[in-house]
Amino acid sequence: MSKDLENDLTRVIGRAAESAPQAPSDLPTQVMGRSRRRRTRTLASVTALAASAVVVVAGGVALSVRGLQEAPQVAVEPAPAPSAERDTMPGPVEQVWPDAVRKIPAKLPEGRKLRPVIFLDDRTLLMQTWASHEKADALYAYELDTDLTRKITDIRTPKGVFASAFTAGAGRIFWQTIEDTRTRLWSVPVAGGEPAAVPTDTPIRQGADKLTVTGDRLAFSAFRGGGVFTVPLDGGAVTPVENAGRHHILSWPWVGTPGEYTPDEEPSFEELYNVETGELSKALVRPGDRYVRCGVTTCVGVNAAGKPFFRLRDGSQERELRESALHGLSQDRFMTVRLPRPAQGEALVDLVTGKSGDLGLRPDAKGQMVSVQPGITNDRLVWYELKDKLVIIDLARIASS
């Protein structure tokens, strides 16, 4: 792991600890930080966790690492503080949003654990199995309507090399591997087959923090130093995207700077650029604001008085939040908050509609609990394991009214 990335992790852990009530001294035992320290594959550890972040928390306090002159606007004005922020118990998430929540088996019939990756389409999940911790060895398609699982391919990588940054489009699945200083791009048809390298005219010398399919090209942004590039889906010339030399992909076609990881605590994605229209957007950041995480339309952070806030990028519709969204808001709307005693669980909150749903997570006898932390660069999928089932939440199926 690079020293810069290690410093970034330390800063975020420290930031979370500052706002954590009565946190024990040995609290920083969270899973993502520990798993990154185990590995020496640097950037792959970041992109492998780009879906909803899942960590272990102690004592009910979550630590997690992880988001024109006129800013774009959200379609619906954010609602008043949802029930989870008013210290009342929300209903179960599957009852609050029945069309968006599914519970599926956590294992294949032969007993291997399945781990969701991304949605391939509205009703199909891309799943992976692991040969060892976070080392994918096979990909599967899971049909939510039929509960059928279909193997897509095996993934074979050398020791210490991991597949990460999965994305899909044009009937194919794409990912990267990072070996020494070289990044290689791979693809396989969704229908199944053998993985094939995506050849490039020049070596890619640093890992991508995000891959995305746009038309007949694969776009990616460089983790270290930024820069957005595209390459034909079948391989060819790696082409820098004009005016995006320091940028990172947020949600195509929006790219921005700084990216999600800000080692000097700069506002994340403060400046945005639409690579298709040329539109620019700079988020308003007030004096004294800290830990600002911005999406395409919204920003969250902590103000000079130490109060968590929500606002649109242009500074309008600002209001106070009960808790800070350290990762930003997934899809500019969603965050998780702790539930009041005696539950001490966690709820998913929609800041647009004001609705919230109890995720069903609870501390164990040791006071530890899995915590789900969606963030600014996440896509529509949120998932976690609960009582030998996988709870799947499709944020795209939650209505905005």
Q: Is residue 395 part of a domain?
A: no
329/3: higher pLDDT: 329
pLDDT attached to residue 70: 32
pLDDT above 60 (res 282): yes
User: What pLDDT band is residue 30 in, cutting at 50, 70 and 90?
Assistant: very low
CATH of residue 341: 2.130.10
Q: The domain containing residue 32 runs over which residues? A: 3-67+75-389
pLDDT reported for residue 80 = 56
Residue 43 lies in a domain: yes
Distance CA 28, CA 370 (A): 14
Report the percentage of the chain scoring pLDDT > 90: 67
Q: How far is CA 3 from the centre of its chain?
A: 22
Q: For 123-150, what is each residue's pLDDT tens digit?
A: 999 999 999 999 999 999 999 999 999 9
- Rounded-to-integer distance, Cα 29 and Cα 323, Å: 21
Q: Does residue 190 sit within a domain?
A: yes
Please give the pLDDT value at position 401.
Answer: 80
* CA nearest neighbour of 291 among 12, 3, 7: 12
**What pLDDT shows up at residue 86?**
53
- Better-scored residue on pLDDT, 78 or 215: 215
Q: What is the pLDDT of residue 78?
A: 52
pLDDT tens string 299-354: 999 999 999 999 999 999 999 998 998 889 999 999 999 988 777 899 999 999 99
**Residue 88: its pLDDT value, please?**
74
Within-domain flag for 401? no
Residue 16: its H or E element: helix 3-19
User: What is the pLDDT, as a whole number, of residue 69?
Assistant: 27
pLDDT at 326: 81
Task: Give the mean model confidence (pLDDT) for residues 154-179.
Answer: 96
pLDDT score recorded for residue 54: 57
- Rounded Cα distance between 208 and 200, Å, is 14
Domain contains 398 = no
Phi then psi dihedrals of residue 224, to 5 deg = -95, 115
Number of domains in the chain: 1
Q: Which residue has the tokens 């992880």?
A: 66
Q: What is the pLDDT of residue 18?
A: 35
Task: Phi first, then psi: give them for residue 83, nearest 5 degrees.
Answer: -60, -35
Is the Cβ–Cβ distance between 91 and 68 less than 8 Å?
Answer: no
Domain membership of residue 176 (yes or no) is yes
Inside any domain, residue 230: yes
Residue 376 — pLDDT band, cuts 50, 70, 90?
confident
75-104 pLDDT tens trace: 334 555 555 555 578 999 999 999 999 999
Average pLDDT, the chain: 82
Provide the total of helices (H) and of strands (E) in the chain, helices listed first.
4, 28
The number of angstroms, rounded, from the C-alpha of 234 to the middle of its chain's C-alpha atoms is 27
What per-residue confidence (pLDDT) applies to 41?
38
Listed range (247-256, 270-279, 373-382, 392-401) with the worst mean pLDDT: 373-382
Pairing of strands 239-240, 124-132: unpaired
- Judged by DSSP in three states, 17 sits in helix
In DSSP notation, 195-242 reads -EEE-BSS-B-S-EEEEEEETTEEEEEETTT--EEEEETT-B--EEPT
Whole-prediction pTM value?
A: 0.81
Alpha carbon distance 34, 31 (integer Å): 5
Considering only residues 127 and 66, tell me which one the structure prediction assigns the higher pLDDT.
Answer: 127
pLDDT at residue 45 greater than cutoff 50: no
Angle at 105 between CA 394 and CA 109, to 5 degrees: 140
**Is 12 among the domain residues?**
yes
- The CA-atom distances, in angstroms, between 89 and each of 103, 216, 309, 345, 399 are 21, 47, 22, 10, 21
**So what's the pLDDT on residue 51?**
41
Closest C-alpha to 1, from 163, 205, 160, 236: 160
pLDDT above 50: residue 58 = no
* pLDDT value for 319: 95
Helix (H) or strand (E) holding 267: none
- Residue 344: its pLDDT value, please? 85
